[in-house]
A and B are shown apart, each in its own frame.
Chain A
């Protein structure tokens, strides 16, 4: 995804080239920032009511809500930025509940000295990501912290979605005999971000897989697949997501290493830094747990949607030992996939 066309920053450089403390102060500067940046980029009637909160009619049935916070360094990386992450990440949490995302909120914590141009690029990207995902950013907040107290921008969001199915989707619904389906190749986001960091940087064509996942989930639900659980892969990668499901659902999960797709350049970047692709972050991938008999149809439905064109069955669920994930290698041996205590670190050893 190349950088979108950006209309000229509406707060001229000769006025305020960078964010100042006053832009979070509740006065004229803050109003001007909200008008010229956020209202201009997010454009929707609820937001333009310019009230403390957004009032909307209840859609009836069940609702889903979620909250998320976004801190990423660098702010801009191949394939995305903190703004696209904020929208897609929130939308995806709702999608994982089987809910169609409708509204988002966005609170910004800006660091004094952040170039106004940077904020504009992020706001524009969020507006576009929201429109692409079919959601509106309907209310928000702005605070400014002193220089040195924030990484440029932190974004916290909340999301509201409409549950359009009658089942229960979650770890508790996973059953022995279920198939595990992965929506596409792993490791792109984490390696795109690492590659953009100065100290560990490398050049490559790797771009973040940051994307909204609702179209893929919608395809499964509309296709009549009995979905037991969905989990998007974020920090901690595929291994962590599956380990959490095994623990929370009290099931055993067995994955086939040979079935898990990863691009060659992603694998090469991982080898270079000594990282395991199974634990590398993704932002546009999810795992689905469905009855084994539904698996072929689920894969077919997913492959027809661009964001899950690489869908593949990668494993099975068993009853015991509860909480354990085992990875079967091509060589015929097995290893246990655990949660890591923290983030994976590059190694020489």
Chain B
């Protein structure tokens, strides 16, 4: 469940329940509801599920999966 993929907002139109964005997924463009992301703007990356943008991708956290691994590996290498 919950197939959601990341795309970049190209443009925004409308408001409230009729707030939509043109979102680009590596060259594929789809009109997506932005009704629950009133602060999302063109240029933001969003996760889209069933035609709905649910959250803005936090770029600052994008590397954390690699950072965690490096820290854990380093910890493992410390002498007992």
Contacts and interface: CB of A to CB of B under 8 A. Distances in A.
Contact of B26 (A203, A268, A348, A349): A268
Interface string A228-272: 000000000000000000000000000000000000110111011
Interface stretch (B1-9, B36-44, B59-67, B71-79): B1-9
A204 B25 CA distance: 10
B26 A264 contact: yes
A6 B5 CA distance: 41
A274 B26 CA distance: 15
B2 A203 contact: no
B27 A264 contact: yes
B28 A265 contact: yes
Contacts of A203: 28-30
Interface string A286-305: 00000000000000000000
Interface in B1-54: 1-3, 5, 25-30, 48-50
Nearest to A264: B26
A51 interface: no
A321 to B, nearest CB: 32
A347 to B, nearest CB: 6
A274 B50 CA distance: 11
Contact of B28 (A269, A347, A349): A269
B3 A347 contact: yes
Given A348-B49, A348-B50, A204 B28 contact: yes
Given A348-B49, A348-B50, A265 B3 contact: no
Nearest to A347: B3
Contacts of B50: 348
B27 A349 contact: no
Interface size bracket, B side: 10 to 19
Nearest to A191: B28
A32 B7 CA distance: 53
Nearest to B25: A268
A202 interface: yes
A205 interface: yes
Interface in A293-328: none
A272 B25 contact: yes
Given A274-B3, A348-B1, A349-B3, A268 B28 contact: yes
A272 B28 contact: yes
B25 A271 contact: yes
B27 A268 contact: yes
A271 B5 contact: yes
Contacts of A348: 1-3, 49-50
A202 B50 CA distance: 13
A267 B49 CA distance: 17
A13 B48 CA distance: 45
Contact of A265 (B2, B27, B48, B49): B27
Nearest to A263: B27
Given A348-B49, A348-B50, A204 B29 contact: yes
Nearest to B4: A348
Contacts of B48: 272
Given A348-B49, A348-B50, A204 B27 contact: yes
Nearest to A200: B30
B26 A265 contact: yes
19 contacts: A195-B28, A203-B28, A204-B27, A204-B28, A205-B27, A206-B28, A264-B26, A264-B27, A265-B26, A267-B26, A268-B26, A268-B27, A268-B28, A269-B25, A269-B28, A274-B3, A347-B3, A348-B1, A348-B50
Closest 5 CB pairs of A and B: A265-B27, A268-B26, A268-B25, A203-B29, A349-B1
Interface of A: 195, 202-206, 264-265, 267-269, 271-272, 274, 347-349
Given A203-B30, A348-B2, 18 more contacts: A202-B28, A202-B29, A203-B28, A204-B27, A204-B29, A205-B27, A264-B26, A264-B27, A265-B28, A268-B5, A268-B28, A269-B28, A271-B25, A272-B30, A348-B3, A348-B50, A349-B2, A349-B3
